[in-house]
Structure 1
Amino acid sequence: MTPFIHHVSLLTRHSDENRAFYIDLLGLRHVKHTVNQENHRMIHDYYGNYYGAPGSVITFFIVPLLGNRYDNDHFLNTIGLKIPMGSLSFWKNRLSKAAVAYTEKPNELHFFDKDQVEIHLVEVAQEPSEEQQPVDNNIPSSKQILGLLSTEFHVSEPQQTIDFFGRLLDWKAHNHRIALNQTDFIDILPSANQKNMRMGRGSMDHVAFAIADDEALDVLYEKAKMQDWQIEKIVNRGYFKSLYIREPGGNRVEFATVSPGFTIDEPLERLGEQLALPPFLANQRAEIEKNIYEEK
């Protein structure tokens, strides 16, 4: 399977302003409203294309009273998003009307969300699929975001992280960039500050890369054990099965299967409309709903 970014997951404090930015402004669909499976009191929201397809999804853990982040010795940074060729002017106008400041590069717009997460909108030679249903909003289907493009690893020793991806996945870097496919990539960059990082508002908890199926994930798990990487866990999330590893720079990397997807606990037409729980949490619904953190 051709490599691509499955999803990225970040932290935010305020769900209302987060949803306003990613749903109302950027036009993504709210494809899953669920809980953090490590802490059932914490809401976990997923945004993506109409289907919530791998390669389109950005997720946020809602953490009340979350403090500021400190991007120091290691951190993940930026969300690159693909937009169709010829749509840059539309997005410049949309951002301006929303009073979102941006900088422009050839075929690119750079700006920040409310948590100071850097967003890149980049025109790519990729047309929306004819069978791809657009999200129901006020953005023309020919201008809607196509999916994830890129992110950055900031680490003290970039070569060690490059070697990690090379040994485990046979991915090659050129000028600190790993091209995943014809459009998508990750950059592995030296961190400028060697103080300890601290997670906070806008921190990216992990980046997930797509894996074809359970069998391929199990093979990767065995290879990671053989190569003695820092494995955190392999776990079934319901919507996908995941392997978590700390790369040598300290950032969390997830490898996630492309199926079964978000329709295991609610129909496609109603995704994200209510609190959804995967089957293994369904019998705990009353307790979970009672104890969800209140936003301050």
Structure 2
Amino acid sequence: MPAFHHISLLTKNRQQNVAFYTQLLGMRFVKNTVNQENTRMLHYYYGDYTGSPGSVVTFFIVPHLGQRYDNDHFLATIGLNIPANSLNYWYERLTNAGVTVTKQENQLFFNDPDEVAIILTEVTEGPLKSELQVQNDVPGDKQILGLASTQLHVSDPEATADFFKRYLDWDVIDGKINLSQNEHLELYQTQTIEKMRMGRGAIDHVAFAVKDDAALEDLYQKAQAQNWQIEEIISRGYFKSLYIREPGGNRLEFATMSPGFTIDEPLETLGESFALPPFLAAKRAEIEANLYPVD
């Protein structure tokens, strides 16, 4: 089971976003749906062929979105793992597309169109299983494996480290939490009291994978007992989620591994139509009529 479930960000330009993540990075567009908190806003999901937990990057499409301000607290970077012997392929592919890339040992550093820092890390593992590979121009043995890392920037790292230890029994060692062999979190101290502001390329939250509803309920009960800042526990249709603000103010999500993205459309045609989970299906006409106009 992966440690990460997905990571969710904000973007202004949906066409640019789709092109970058599907055509250049070779991910599958697995879900075209809405932000369930604001159904006027589109929500796009990218991942491996099935959109399996740990492979997914999502974006809320926000027209007229302003600049982001990474100040007193924020999440930053999308770390992605790539298979053994694929680093040079990705360096050439990105460079040929006009992307400025820095190569350091087994990693590539570059930005997406919203100035989101992306890190590709070559690991020793082989390629994606064939049933998870996307049919596109990225060779199957070079395709992105899934999420590797992200960063939490907070004013008081000790308070955030205490949260991870007490709540999840995760140890912060030298500013890093090793979640698995190829997945980790990084913790940094911010140097300003100016308030952060969401904008283009801001990370709304990072989600961690939870086995099932029972395990999620256990986390909810533990968060209540330890008096952490719970936002909500709610079904998203594709998974059930618990949202918590860690002491630094960043939003964390804990999401179940199932039922997945095929509850409202077939696996073969994921992302090809405007999808709504069953509990929103009756409102389709109203939702479609009120979507924010996008480029």
TM-score, normalised by the number of residues in structure 1: 0.98
Instruction: Work out whether residues 127 and 142 of structure 2, in 8 Å CA contact, stay in contact via their aligned partners in 1.
Output: no
Q: CA deviation at 1:125?
A: 1.4
Runs of 4+ aligned structure 1 residues displaced above 4 Å come to none
User: C-alpha deviations, 1:195-235, integer Å up to 9, x for none?
Assistant: 11000000000000000000000010000000000000000
Q: CA deviation at 1:192?
A: 2.5
CA distance in 2, matches of 1:28, 1:175: 33
Equivalent AA in structure 1 for residue 5 of structure 2: H
Q: CA deviation at 1:128?
A: 2.4
- 1:78 correspondence with 2:95: no
Q: CA deviation at 1:127?
A: 1.5
Structure 1 stretches of 5 or more lacking a match? none
CA distance in 1, matches of 2:208, 2:186: 14
Aligned to 1:251: 250
CA distance in 1, matches of 2:87, 2:60: 30
- 1:159 correspondence with 2:167: no
Aligned to 1:133: 132
Aligned to 1:188: 187
SS in 1 for 2:5: strand
CA distance in 1, matches of 2:269, 2:215: 31
1:12-161 → structure 2 map (5 Å cutoff):
12-161=11-160
Q: CA deviation at 1:133?
A: 3.3
Aligned to 1:200: 199
CA distance in 1, matches of 2:5, 2:71: 25
CA distance in 2, matches of 1:129, 1:288: 36
Instruction: Work out whether residues 79 and 150 of structure 2, in 8 Å CA contact, stay in contact via their aligned partners in 1.
Output: yes
Equivalent AA in structure 1 for residue 185 of structure 2: I
SS in 1 for 2:162: helix
SS in 2 for 1:216: helix
CA distance in 2, matches of 1:250, 1:226: 19
Q: CA deviation at 1:85?
A: 1.3
CA distance in 2, matches of 1:70, 1:288: 31
Aligned to 2:236: 237
CA distance in 1, matches of 2:46, 2:54: 11
SS in 2 for 1:127: coil
Q: CA deviation at 1:104?
A: 1.0
TM-score, normalised by the number of residues in structure 2: 0.98
CA distance in 1, matches of 2:220, 2:232: 9
CA distance in 2, matches of 1:3, 1:120: 18
Q: Over aligned residues, Cα RMSD in angstroms?
A: 0.9
User: C-alpha deviations, 1:152-191, integer Å up to 9, x for none?
Assistant: 0000011111111111111111101000011100001111
SS in 1 for 2:272: coil
Equivalent AA in structure 1 for residue 131 of structure 2: Q
- Number of residue pairs matched by the alignment: 295
1:279-294 → structure 2 map (5 Å cutoff):
279-294=278-293
Aligned to 1:172: 171
CA distance in 1, matches of 2:205, 2:286: 28
Instruction: Work out whether residues 69 and 197 of structure 2, in 8 Å CA contact, stay in contact via their aligned partners in 1.
Output: yes
Q: CA deviation at 1:131?
A: 4.5
User: C-alpha deviations, 1:49-99, integer Å up to 9, x for none?
Assistant: 000000000000000000000000000000000001111110111011100
Equivalent AA in structure 1 for residue 290 of structure 2: N
CA distance in 2, matches of 1:129, 1:109: 19
Which sits farther off after the overlay, 126-135 or 211-220? 126-135
CA distance in 2, matches of 1:210, 1:106: 29
Instruction: Work out whether residues 83 and 143 of structure 2, in 8 Å CA contact, stay in contact via their aligned partners in 1.
Output: yes
SS in 2 for 1:276: coil
SS in 1 for 2:180: coil
Aligned to 2:266: 267
